[in-house]
Structure formats: structure tokens, C-alpha cells
Amino acid sequence: MQPHTPRRFYLITYPRTGSNLLVRMLGLANQPHMRAGDDRGGYIFLPVVKLITDLGLRKKEVTDWTEEEIMQVRCSYQECFAEFQEYLDKASADGCSVFIKEHVHFLIDPTTLSLFTFGNSAGDTTRPSWMVQYLPESYEGKASGTRSPLNETVLSDEFLRSWQPTFLIRHPALAFPSLYRALLELEGTGNPHEDEQLGQHCMTLRWTRNLYGWYMREGNCVDDRTAWPIVLDADDIMTDPGLVSDYCQLLGMDPSRVSCSWMPASKEQRSHMNMFTKRYLSTLLSSGGIVTDKIAGRVNIEMEAEKWCEEFGERVGRRLERLVREAMPDYEFLKARRWKAGRHVQRDALMPALI
């Protein structure tokens, strides 16, 4: 038997794409030589997101953050990254690969998110630098990272290059309303004018497409058969379990450990979960397998928008419709490049569309 060569796999998602389902199907906890983070399967920078929310900074432009608030957020990023690096070093020392998932907006520089949300009205939003520091010299021999202009994340180019990324997508007409529904329940204030803006910074595929484009320009190809990054669509995962088995094998894992059914979570198990975990994993926790009514299929956005207006009110419904329609070009672009078992991705043929 050949020795295992440790590799790093990053599953980059946005909310309500079915990432928890994919992780469950892959059976990561039972895969030899594979580490998959804590019980969340990743979300390395979730503490930063929680801090920003608790401080009320999501409603403020970065230029309006105080020096104390900036310091708190920067320290949180750095602490999360340091803990992450320790985890990676331990996995490497043990000869194990890692499979980590992260919502893409968790990685995006706060200044970039602020510009997207509020526009350029605040003037100079070029400071501060949010890139995490103190990279070990193992990243291309550099003790501190560099970040190219097209890299919108808080991570250095050198660190990003050390991963083989998969981008998980789902039709915005299913993902965005589902996210708004959860946010309204968990973070809603009861003020319609405040609540209608919930999720503004992450109801977009801009971050996904841009980071995908960055990796494509890097030419991050891991072998002769498959070019990375890879794109997976939630519909394919739910309708073709064989695709998940092939993807599992592509990652060097045991496809016989892929599962399409499981025991629903017990009342006892749920009692130890916080309200966010129970809400965002509600379908997975209550099901015993793939729930087919979550499949997008052919979506009529106009008809769906009428349902959103009825459920959330006219203003929110129309806002969701606008965000979905704005996201569709990026979704269709990525969907056209989604991975299929046995498919060889012709990188050179795709490059013109990225320029």
C-alpha cells in the first residue's frame, strides 16, 4: 500500500447550499487519514462573524468603526487563524489530509464587504489591512504573506495556494429565501425596515465567482486528470449520490463510506445544540436521508417572488427577487463549469470567460 500523501481540501460555500448534507454523505468522521475540523466541519472564522454581529458592526461602514472595534476584529481574525494553523500543523504531523468548509463571506475582507453593502460614499476605505499575519515559512518560504489585488480575502496568496478548493453552489431562488427565513427567526428585530436588510452582504455569488476566478488564474492543478478548483451544484448532490462517491474517491477517500441515509437526531442530541445549530441544520437533523423537495429543478423566479411577497411582505419579497436576479449570471457561469464524474476540465478553454 502506498503511503498517504496529506492534502488540503477547502469546501467554499455560501449559506443554505447543502454543505452539511454533503459533509454528512461523505462520512468524513469515518474516513481514514482525513481530518475535518470540529463538529461544525469548519467555519474557522465564525467567531469573527459572531463578534461583528454582537458589536453591531454589520450595520456600519468600516470607516465608522472605532479604533477599538477595528482592533477587536483584527485580533479575532488573527486568533482564529493561529488556531487554524495549529490544527493544520497537527494534521500534517500525523500524516493526515484535511477537509474544511467555510462560507465564502467569512473570508472576505471587511472593507470589501463594506464597499459592497454601502457603496463608496464613505470616501477612503482602503485601510486597515485585514490580512492575517505570522504565516510560517512553509508557505513558499515566506514568513509573512502577500495578497494580490484580485485576492479579496483576509488570507494570503501563499496560504490560498496550499489548498485544493471546491465551490459548492445552489440556485439563489432556493438559497436566499431560506437564509432570510433563518435570519429573520434568529436575528430579526421586529422592525421591518431593519429586518429587510438581513443578509445583504452574503445574498450574492460575487464572492464565490471572484475567488473561483482567482484560483483559475493561479492554475492550481493537482493532477493530470482533474483541474482545480472544482464546482459542485447542490442539485447534483441530491439527485446523483454516485457523484458524491466519485467526488469522495477524487479526494483520496473511501467511497464505500459514503452514506445516503442515517438516523435522525434524537431529542437528547438536540438538547445539547445551540439554537443556531438546530435552526441551520433543522432539515438534516430531522431527516433520515436526502430530502427531495429541496431540489431546485427548473425555477420560475417570477412565480417564486410572488410567494416571497406573500410570506415576507411586498418590500422584502421584491428585494429577494432583485438579489436573486442579480446573482443569476454568476450562478449560471459557475453551474456551467460544475464537476461531473469522469469529466476532464479544459482549463485553457475557460480562461477567456474569466478575463
Q: Which domain CATH number covers 161?
A: 3.40.50
Which residue has cell 476605505? Answer: 125
Cα torsion 37, 82, 14, 289 to 10°: value is 10
Q: What is the pLDDT of residue 193?
A: 72
282-324 residue pLDDT tens: 454 445 555 566 676 788 999 999 999 999 999 999 999 999 9
205-216 residue pLDDT tens: 999 999 999 999
Q: What is the pLDDT of residue 334?
A: 97
Residue 285 lies in a domain: yes
Residue 349 lies in a domain: no
How many domains is the chain built from?
1
- Antiparallel, parallel or unpaired: β 230-233 and 8-13: unpaired
Q: What is the pLDDT of residue 159?
A: 93
- Using the predicted structure, report yes or no on whether residue 226 has a pLDDT greater than 80: no
The residue that leads in pLDDT, 92 or 275, is: 92
DSSP letters along 182-234, please?
HHHHHH--S-HHHHTTTTTTTS-SHHHHHHHHHHHHHT-B-SSS-BSSEEEEH
pLDDT band at 127 (very low <50, low <70, confident <90, very high): low
- Average pLDDT (230-253) is 90
85-125 residue pLDDT tens: 999 999 999 999 999 999 999 999 999 999 998 886 544 54
pLDDT band at 45 (very low <50, low <70, confident <90, very high): very high
The residue that leads in pLDDT, 283 or 132, is: 132
- Using the predicted structure, report yes or no on whether residue 10 has a pLDDT greater than 60: yes
Residue 352 lies in a domain: no
Residue 191 lies in a domain: yes
Q: With contact defined as beta carbons under 8 Å apart, do 67 and 38 qualify?
A: no
**Angle between helices 314-335 and 172-187 in degrees, nearest 10:** 130
Residue 135 lies in a domain: yes
**Percent of the chain beyond pLDDT 70?**
74
Q: What is the pLDDT of residue 342?
A: 58
138-197 residue pLDDT tens: 676 666 688 998 999 999 999 999 999 999 999 999 999 999 988 888 776 667 677 777
Which residue has cell 447542490? Answer: 234
Q: With contact defined as beta carbons under 8 Å apart, do 228 and 250 qualify?
A: no
Cβ-based neighbour number of residue 272 at 10 Å:
8
**E strand intervals along 14-88:** 34-35
Residue 13 lies in a domain: yes
Q: What is the pLDDT of residue 227?
A: 73
Q: With contact defined as beta carbons under 8 Å apart, do 243 and 251 qualify?
A: no
Strand partners, 97: 34
* Cell reading at 250: 477524487
Strand partners, 9: 99, 164
Q: With contact defined as beta carbons under 8 Å apart, do 126 and 62 qualify?
A: no
Task: Give residue 59's domain range.
Answer: 8-122+131-336
Q: What is the pLDDT of residue 57?
A: 93
Alpha-carbon span 33 to 10, nearest angstrom = 16
pLDDT band at 222 (very low <50, low <70, confident <90, very high): low
Q: What is the pLDDT of residue 324?
A: 97
- Using the predicted structure, report yes or no on whether residue 341 has a pLDDT greater than 80: no
Alpha-carbon span 212 to 200, nearest angstrom = 21
Going by C-beta distance under 8 Å and a sequence separation of 6 or more, which residues neighbour residue 130?
74, 77, 109, 110, 111, 154
Q: What is the pLDDT of residue 291?
A: 56
Residue 343 lies in a domain: no
- Using the predicted structure, report yes or no on whether residue 134 has a pLDDT greater than 80: no
* Cell reading at 201: 452582504
Q: What is the pLDDT of residue 64?
A: 92
pTM confidence score: 0.86
Residue 240 lies in a domain: yes
Q: With contact defined as beta carbons under 8 Å apart, do 150 and 210 qualify?
A: yes
Q: What is the pLDDT of residue 24?
A: 84
3-state secondary structure of 35: strand
